[in-house]
Amino acid sequence: MPRLALSLFLFLLCSMVLPSISSAQDQGMATGALTSDRSHTGGAQTLEDILARQRGLAIDDSFRAGNTGNPEGAAALNAQLGTLGGVSDPELWRALRYGSADMRASAGGETAAVLVQDGGMRWLDFRAGPLRQYGGGLLLATLGVLALFFLLRGRIMIDGEKSGQTVTRFKAIERFGHWLLAGSFIVLGVTGILTLFGRVMIAPYLGKSTNAWLLVWGKWLHNSVAWAFILGLVMIFAMWVVHNVPNRSDLVWLRQFGGIIGKAHPPAKKFNAGQKMIFWSVVLFGSSISLTGISLLFPFEMPLFAASFDALNATGLPQMLGYGALPVELAPQEEMQLAQAWHAILAFVLMAIILAHIYIGSLGMEGAYDAMGSGEVDEAWARQHHSIWLEELKTPPQGETKAQTPAE
Amino acid sequence: MKAMISGLLATAVIAVLADLTLENAGYGSDEIFASEAVRLK
């Protein structure tokens, strides 16, 4: 199941990111690739190719990717017009660029053998462009929607008076796990945003030294606090997964929009459908963010994407959707670039979800914060928002009466 | 409230412990930049 989930996430990545940051080697596979008659340039690229590339169109690069010389065809050294080899400098650079050069490095493994990786520029463009724009836009839009919702709906209050009686909603260990996860996620989110936006949002206004200081400490915090996040994720999964299995009451809750829109109080168990969606988003997105994060923490030692693409190709899904077979031979640097891109995309999505979670758990609903603050909630609140759970809590388990009777 | 403070403090403690552990294992902040050094160890 986790492998399938990871594969699905990675497939989404392919559809969103890969076309924009894949390496030159992959460009020839793009659909709708431009083909030109290059006879008048002797097979070299034409003005049409250059203009098309400037317009951002996919170019079939196979005409030059394979144009890397042929040592076998060179005249022998001792022959008339004999040469020192059958490969010119441009052909050698093409071979380096398209990954077909027979490169060997005395140290550093295959990572060091990659001298040119022009996919890096696409990744950089993606990181500096769409990732910042859409990621930042998503967070701002989420804040805007929440502010608008607050203005329109106001705070969701407890109907009637508080009962004055409280029930334990979350035990101390549950609250500890929640705050371990929440605290680390906020630190990770802030430092991640600083890392992505520092160059454009901080350096121009507060200076490069301030930005550098923030980046150095932000990086340390991000890399170190990540382990607390992973531990928190494991804790909440172990403690709450059993309460987050979907059931029929979720359909009722969803049909009534959870009472968030309108005045209804649909019945719910310990977690309602909205909380279950947040739980599974945190678990699945958080796991994927953690995996790619670990891959980035130990560079080049834990490549994830080639194997995942291979597994996806085997399902036939990318081909069925017209993406063709996904690349399964990725340069080590390309693995890192994809890991960073995926890590950041999912982090933005999760941050947007968590902003909504923070809103409804604090400002948006009276009494909700108590559940994670003191762990005690008013019975009136519990009855309105988690009526099935409250009933189960107040009904002694079957057989308890018998168990209290001494067996003689 | 105690659980919240404990959770936040634990975040800090785990971060420091993780950094020290990785530093000792040769995966510290400096070494990770020079990933070659990690490889050669």
Condensed to tens digits (0 to 9), the pLDDT of residues A116-161 reads 888 888 899 999 999 999 999 999 999 999 999 999 999 988 888 8
Distance, CA of A222 to CA of A7 (rounded, Å): 26
A152 shares its domain with A171: yes
pLDDT for residue A100 is more than 70: yes
Structure tokens at A28: 């020839």
Taken in order A217, A215, A22, A333, is the CA torsion positive or negative?
A: negative
Q: What percent of chain A has pLDDT over 90?
A: 56
A90 shares its domain with A136: no
pLDDT tens figures, A43-99: 788 888 889 888 888 777 888 888 888 777 777 767 776 666 677 888 889 888 888
A4 falls within a domain:
no
Structure tokens at A244: 């987050």
Distance, CA of A329 to CA of A31 (rounded, Å): 19
Q: Quick one: pLDDT at residue A57?
A: 83
Q: Quick one: pLDDT at residue A355?
A: 97
Distance, CA of A121 to CA of A53 (rounded, Å): 14
Place of tokens 């982090």: A347
- Selecting from B6, B15, B27 the residue whose C-beta is nearest the C-beta of A221 gives B15
pLDDT tens figures, A343-399: 999 999 999 999 999 999 999 999 999 999 999 999 999 999 999 999 998 887 666
**Last residue within a domain, chosen from A112, A138, A167:** A112
How many domains are contained in chain A? 2
**Last residue within a domain, chosen from A46, A81, A112:** A112
Q: Quick one: pLDDT at residue A56?
A: 80
- Interface-testing mutation among B1, B4, B9, B11, with chain A (most A C-beta atoms within 10 A): B11
Q: Quick one: pLDDT at residue A285?
A: 98
Contacts of B32 in chain A (CB under 8 A): 297-299
Interchain pair A231, B14: CB under 8 A: yes
Interchain pair B14, A225: CB under 8 A: yes
Distance, CA of A41 to CA of A33 (rounded, Å): 19
pLDDT tens figures, A178-220: 999 999 999 999 999 999 999 999 999 999 999 999 999 999 9
- Interface-testing mutation among A170, A221, A227, with chain B (most B C-beta atoms within 10 A): A227
Average model confidence (pLDDT) for chain A?
Answer: 86
Domain boundaries in chain B? Answer: 2-40
Q: Quick one: pLDDT at residue A403?
A: 42
A238 shares its domain with A182: yes
A278 falls within a domain:
yes
Question: What is the DSSP track for A338-398?
Answer: HHHHHHHHHHHHHHHHHHHHHHHHTTSBTTHHHHHHTSEEEHHHHHHH-HHHHHHHHSPPT
Closest CA to A23 of A95, A126, A121, A103: A121
**Last residue within a domain, chosen from A112, A139, A155:** A112
Q: How many residues does chain A have?
A: 408
Query: Which one is predicted more confidently, B38 or A231?
Result: A231
A125 shares its domain with A70: no
ipTM rounded to 2 decimals: 0.80
A124 shares its domain with A252: yes
A351: Cα within 13 Å, side-chain hemisphere = 25
Distance, CA of A290 to CA of A234 (rounded, Å): 11
A148 shares its domain with A35: no
Q: Give the range among A231-235, A348-352, A402-406, B5-9 with minimum mean pLDDT.
A: A402-406
pLDDT tens figures, A250-291: 999 998 888 777 778 888 999 999 999 999 999 999 999 999
Q: For A300, left (φ over 0), alpha (ψ -120 to 50), or beta?
A: left
Q: Is A177 on the interface with B (CB under 8 A)?
A: yes
Q: Quick one: pLDDT at residue A76?
A: 72
Q: How far does the CA of residue A236 sit from the closest CA of chain B (Å)?
A: 12
- Residue pair B41/B35 in contact (Cβ under 8 Å)? The answer is no
Q: Which residues of chain B have pLDDT under 70?
A: 29-41
What count of CB pairs under 8 Å joins A to B?
A: 74
Q: Which domain holds residue A44?
A: 24-112
A145 shares its domain with A199: yes
Q: Quick one: pLDDT at residue A42?
A: 78
Cβ neighbours for A362, distance < 8 A, ≥ 6 positions apart: A368, A369
Q: Quick one: pLDDT at residue A34?
A: 53
* 3-state DSSP percent of chain A in helix, strand and coil, to 5: 65, 0, 30
A106 shares its domain with A129: no
Q: Is B16 on the interface with A (CB under 8 A)?
A: yes
Q: What percent of chain A has pLDDT over 70?
A: 86
A370 falls within a domain:
yes
- Selecting from A172, A227, A372 the residue whose C-beta is nearest the C-beta of B14 gives A227
Query: Which one is predicted more confidently, A383 or A32?
Result: A383
A279 shares its domain with A202: yes
A11 falls within a domain:
no
